[in-house]
Amino acid sequence: MNRPQQGSALADTRYLWYVGNPSHPVLVGELNLVMSGRGVSLSYDASWLRVGFPLSEDLPLVDIEHFPREKDMAVGAVDDARPDRWGEKVIRLLDRPARLSLLEFLYYAGDDRFGALGVSTSREAYLPRVVGPLPQLPDVDAVHAIMRRVMAGEPVEGRFKRLIAPGVTMGGARPKALFQLDGAEWVLKFAEEEGSAEPLIEHAAMTLAAKADIDVAVTRPIRFKTGVAIAIKRFDRSDSGLRRHALSANVALKAAGVEMAYPNLALLLRRKGVLEGQRYTRQMHELFRRLIFNILIDNTDDHEKNHVVLVTDSQHYELAPAFDVLPTCQSLGYQAMVVGADGAESSIDNALSAAKDYRLSAQAAVDEARKVARVVDSWRGHFTAVGLSSRVLEDLSSHIDRPFLLGQRRALLQ
């Protein structure tokens, strides 16, 4: 995108645009800093009220100023347009805005942010923050070096700033950058600790999940001089360059006024999911398999920003491919969201207690869980084939194969 960029002087108002088709951006409305600078509101433009759609269920198409329900948040779907924790770190160090309000973070997240919303300095034309051309595979070592500088809080030369886009994902703190690979946009995630096998572990876990009939984001390991990164193909972009409007489970469930819980996300898919061919039912079943996989693989970082729904042209919800799926190796014994009757406890029985919320009979739920357990039981061979060392495997085994999880897995396979 080579459009001029309007000055980014300090302001309490910015403008929200819908850029589902980047060549034809559409004004959505006005964003304002509210709550003594600790929130961002949205007022739909009259033109969007005529031809647009509610960005989330708590942002109906009415001519009012929509306010966030809590401090330190933007209202409704706008909150998903902000950068994640890594993006905020990049903005603080590289852009150094005169003020660090949520409105600045929304603006500086830039045009490459997750989803199909954009923030502009102008109501008349879409004038976002634009960094420059995306880095490509030969740039990976340079990008890694910049990542280390950002993590250390060290200055980065201006000519290198284009290599880091701060708004490409939501909900994560891992160092990452947006790349152009094979004609598509990919997110490259690096390890926080130098030499860590975490990116390769994530690739192994994601590809293992696919064997359990779970739709996962496409991943590939990327080697560089001192280690390995994981590349994740963006699922909020089409091959033709169109952008998908997306909502985190955090925003979607808050908009529905319900608790952050797997069963509630399943019920949201039942109510708002794609009807054709009962796709929503299949996705409810898949969500149940994702839960079982997360439990058995010891992924307890499965919080509400690590689940996303994509919004179709008919305003139905589709479960986005799974991402950020890997063992957290903390042996917590509880998930980040509510699982079932026993709260967030990481047990298969707890998941089975809510089977009906996924449109599963008791026996069908056991069958789905058994299918996942069978795949997870082969984790060691799969992770070995991906290239993980015996030392890493032993560390993972102390969590994935500890009695609490191994016993549940074995019980399903009897």
pLDDT in tens, 175-203: 999 999 999 999 999 998 888 999 999 99
Backbone angles phi, psi at 199, to 5 degrees: -60, -40
Please report which confidence band the pLDDT of residue 145 belongs to, taking 50, 70 and 90 as the band edges: very high
Q: For 246-413, CATH number?
A: 1.10.1070
Return the structure tokens found at 195: 């030499």
* pLDDT tens digits along 202-221: 999 999 999 999 999 999 99
What are the residues whose beta carbons fall under 8 Å from the beta carbon of 202, sequence distance 6 or more? 189, 219, 230, 324, 325, 326
| Whether residue 315 has pLDDT greater than 60 | yes
Return the structure tokens found at 275: 């009807």
* pLDDT tens digits along 38-64: 999 999 999 999 999 999 999 999 999
| Whether residue 350 has pLDDT greater than 60 | yes
Return the structure tokens found at 363: 């026996």
Burial of 97 (0-12, 13-18, 19+ CB in 10 A): middle
The 3-state DSSP class for residue 116 equals coil
pTM of the model: 0.94
What are the residues whose beta carbons fall under 8 Å from the beta carbon of 286, sequence distance 6 or more? 213, 214, 215, 319
| Whether residue 172 has pLDDT greater than 80 | no
Q: What is the pLDDT of residue 3?
A: 38
> What are residue 211's DSSP bridge partners?
none
Contact 45, 149 (CB under 8 A): no
> What's the average model confidence in pLDDT over 375-401?
98
- For residue 125, the 8-state DSSP code is S
The 3-state DSSP class for residue 58 equals coil
Burial of 74 (0-12, 13-18, 19+ CB in 10 A): buried
- What is the distance between the alpha carbons of residues 226 and 51, in angstroms, rounded to a whole number? 51
Contact 294, 302 (CB under 8 A): yes
Backbone angles phi, psi at 272, to 5 degrees: -115, 0
In degrees, rounded to 5, the angle at the alpha carbon of residue 51 between the alpha carbons of residues 45 and 57 is 75
> What are residue 73's DSSP bridge partners?
39
In the chain, where does the domain assigned CATH 3.30.200.120 lie? 137-233
Q: What is the pLDDT of residue 4?
A: 36
Backbone angles phi, psi at 193, to 5 degrees: -100, 130
- What is the distance between the alpha carbons of residues 389 and 133, in angstroms, rounded to a whole number? 36
- What is the distance between the alpha carbons of residues 97 and 166, in angstroms, rounded to a whole number? 14
Return the structure tokens found at 208: 């293992």
Please report which confidence band the pLDDT of residue 170 belongs to, taking 50, 70 and 90 as the band edges: low
> What's the average model confidence in pLDDT over 258-287?
96
| Whether residue 1 has pLDDT greater than 50 | no
Contact 377, 407 (CB under 8 A): no
Label the pairing between strands 227-233 and 219-224: antiparallel
Return the structure tokens found at 354: 């809510």
Average pLDDT, whole number, for the chain? Answer: 94
> What's the average model confidence in pLDDT over 300-319?
97
In the chain, where does the domain assigned CATH 1.10.1070 lie? 246-413
> What's the average model confidence in pLDDT over 393-398?
98
Label the pairing between strands 73-74 and 39-44: parallel
Report the CATH fold assignment for 137-233. Answer: Phosphorylase Kinase; domain 1 (3.30.200)
Please report which confidence band the pLDDT of residue 322 belongs to, taking 50, 70 and 90 as the band edges: very high
- Locus of tokens 């398999």: 289
Q: What is the pLDDT of residue 173?
A: 78
Contact 305, 408 (CB under 8 A): no
